[in-house]
A = this chain, B = another copy of it.
Amino acid sequence: MEVTIFTDEQKQAARFAKAMGHPVRMYVLDLLNKQSCCYSGDLSDILPIAKSTLSQHLKELKDAGLIQGEIEAPKVKYCINKENWAKAQKLFQAFLEY
């Protein structure tokens, strides 16, 4: 049972925002947004965190729907999830405009 005072838009926007709410995840999104795709290993080389931690962050972005990963063995290529990215754009633009 869910008390639903909030619109779907608010809930979805909050979900996206939460996923963006960490510097590492912002960094990843920023990078993917610029070059569309990258390998997990490239990120691991750059970012000063354990690879398991990075994997966790990537999972969160994936669970929120903002990115997607496809296996290019033995690597994994991560890309922006364009459909949901577009959704996020719409939500935030509507939200930020007044």
Q: Which residues of A contact B (CB under 8 A)?
A: 3, 5-6, 10-11, 13-15, 17-27, 29-30, 33-34, 46-48, 88-89, 92-93, 95-96, 98
From B10, B30, B95, B98, give the contact of A23 (CB < 8 A).
B10
User: Copies of this chain, how many?
Assistant: 2
Given contacts A88-B96, A92-B96, A96-B92, contact A14 B6 (CB under 8 A): no
Residue in B closest to A88 when the chains form the complex, CB atoms: B96
Q: Is the CB of A14 within 8 A of B22?
A: yes
Q: Is the CB of A17 within 8 A of B6?
A: no
Given contacts A5-B47, A23-B6, contact A30 B95 (CB under 8 A): yes
